[in-house]
Amino acid sequence: MTRPGEFSPATVQLIWDRDRGCCVVCGRGLRRERRGEPFNGWSVMHREPRGAGGVKRNSDRPHLVLPSNGALGCGTGTTGCHADVEAGKYPAEDGYKVSRLGKARPADVPLRHALFGMVRLDDAGGWETAA
């Protein structure tokens, strides 16, 4: 069962395929079977955070669980690039984090992808170069 605000297995697979199994921050190749492992593992980063309150507060934010809101990161929220992103190590222009407070949705905000450069991620598991 996928919890509210979590990416479904099918969406995780779309994100994995889109990002070619690599961390979008450092480009490191990840091993599919190591999801959730803190060292040499990976996780899906939420660009716009789920926030607190679960399904009630997120009911007007269906984009939270779409591919545009997810990107592969090495490590977890407390290790690797994922932790660096959560700690605010990267500038807002890199697009790894999208504010819950702004009007822009993740699909609108360019992301600095280690493999593709500056891209916009769409909600079907694709991307296009951001001008």
Binder to Zn ion among 44, 74, 119, 121 (CB under 5 A)?
Answer: 74
In the complex with Zn ion, the residue whose CB is nearer, 74 or 98, is: 74
Stretch that binds Zn ion, among 6-14, 34-42, 50-58, 70-78 (CB under 5 A): 70-78
Measured CA to CA, the distance from residue 64 to residue 127 in angstroms comes to 17
Residue 24 CB coordination number (10 Å): 29
Cβ closest to Zn ion, residue 58 vs residue 73:
73
Q: Does 23 bind Zn ion (CB under 5 A)?
A: yes
Question: Exactly one of 14, 22, 25, 85 binds Zn ion (CB under 5 A); which one?
Answer: 25
Under the criterion CB under 5 A, does residue 81 sit at the interface with Zn ion?
yes
Residue partners of 22: CB distance under 8 A and separation at least 6: 28, 29, 30, 72, 114, 115
Long-range contacts of 115-119 (CB under 8 A, 24+ apart): 115/19, 115/20, 115/22, 115/24, 115/27
**Binding-site string for Zn ion from residue 27 to residue 56, where x marks contact by CB under 5 A and - marks none:** -x----------------------------
Number of residues near Zn ion (by CB under 5 A): 6
- Nearest approach in angstroms of CB 102 to Zn ion is 25
**Which distant-in-sequence residues (6+ apart) come within 8 Å of 61 by Cβ?**
48
**Any contact of residue 26 with Zn ion (CB under 5 A)?**
yes
Task: Report how many helices (DSSP H) and strands (DSSP E) the chain contains, helices first.
Answer: 3, 5
Q: In angstroms, rounded to a whole number, what is the distance separating the alpha carbons of residues 50 and 3? A: 11
Interface with Zn ion (CB under 5 A) = 23, 25-26, 28, 74, 81
